[in-house]
Amino acid sequence: MSQDDSRYRTFRYRLHPTKLQTQALHLQQRYQCELYNAALEERIGAWTWERRSVSFFDQCLTLTGLKDVRPEVVASGITVCRGTLKRLDRAYEAFYRRVKGGESPGFPRFKSTSRFDSLEWEDHGGWKVDTQLRRLHLMGIGEIRFNFYRPMLGEAKAITVKREGIKWWLYVRCVKVPAKPFERTSCEIGIDLGVVNQIATSDGELKKASTLVPKHRKTSLKPSVNWRPNNEDRIVVGVRSKRSYDCISRSRINVAMPRTS
């Protein structure tokens, strides 16, 4: 198959971890967040005090000695640690690209555990997707059941496990996916997504946002005047907001790209 006839695609599936597996995922995210911040601190310190650049490969070499010092960080394998370091390396590449282009740079920042919500495996080590049993095998965590609702095309190359609200999702990045172009038609139309009018077409047709959001989602998240939130209330409001945003996002996708039989 030639390169022009193949594509890269990412398939998204809902994960259903058990209570112990959820705790293990949260713990591993905390360790990888600590690794991300430590790697960022190393890069900043090396340049500040020694005017020395630290590359992604230099930091990957230090992972071999991490097993003796912090074995819990590499409990899920070295691959997820390399994915964390690669994530930082991409942030630096984006920073240098914006500096070169004269844009607002945005230097990479330290992350809190609440903002570090994903784990990345950049190659085949430490994980395996079993589509027949609908299980995701993760080293150090176990077999996690996932909703295999659509076939996976191509060759699975890397995965990302992400936390969105109280849900967990699996993103499988596949290569060598056969291209399936749509048949050409004589009709052309432009679609713009807005706020007041959620859909505006080039033909002049407007669709209000209120007609696309289900009635049971039209609940206000604004608290009362005398409401004093605690940590648990902030989590509840955050989860409700996330669900509302997901609902609106899905409605936009369904209207812009309706499913075909």
Q: What is the pTM of this model?
A: 0.76
Q: Residue 120: beta bridge partners? A: 160
Q: Compare 34 and 254 and report the one with higher pLDDT.
A: 34
Which amino acid, 173?
A: R
User: Measured between alpha carbons, how far apart are the two ends of the chain, in Å?
Assistant: 27
For the chain, what percent of residues have pLDDT higher than 90?
55
Q: How far apart are CA 98 and CA 55, in angstroms?
A: 19
| Residue of 32, 11, 27 whose CA lies nearest to 170 | 11
DSSP E strands, the chain: 6-16, 118-121, 127-130, 135-138, 142-146, 155-164, 167-178, 191-193, 197-201, 206-208
For the chain, what percent of residues have pLDDT higher than 70?
77
Q: DSSP letters of 156-224?
A: EEEEEEEEETTEEEEEEEEEEEEP-PPPP-S----EEE-SSEEEEETTS-EEEGGGTS-GGG----PPP
The vertex-28 CA angle with 24 and 32, nearest 5°, equals: 175
Judge contact between 122 and 175, C-beta under 8 A: no
Can you give the pLDDT at residue 214?
Answer: 53
Q: DSSP letters of 28-44?
A: HHHHHHHHHHHHHHHHH
The answer for residues whose C-beta is within 8 angstroms of residue 117's C-beta and 6 or more apart is 29, 162, 163, 164
Can you give the pLDDT at residue 151?
Answer: 92
CA distances to 238, 239, 240, 241, 242 from 222, rounded to whole Å, are 12, 14, 11, 10, 14
260 pLDDT exceeds 50?
no
Q: Residue 136: beta bridge partners? A: 129, 144
* Average pLDDT for 99-119: 92
Judge contact between 106 and 98, C-beta under 8 A: yes
- Digit-coded pLDDT (tens) for 146-199: 999 999 999 999 999 999 988 999 999 999 998 877 788 777 778 787 767 777
Which amino acid, 174?
A: C
- Digit-coded pLDDT (tens) for 3-41: 556 688 999 999 999 999 999 999 999 999 999 999 999
**148, two tokens:** 């295999």
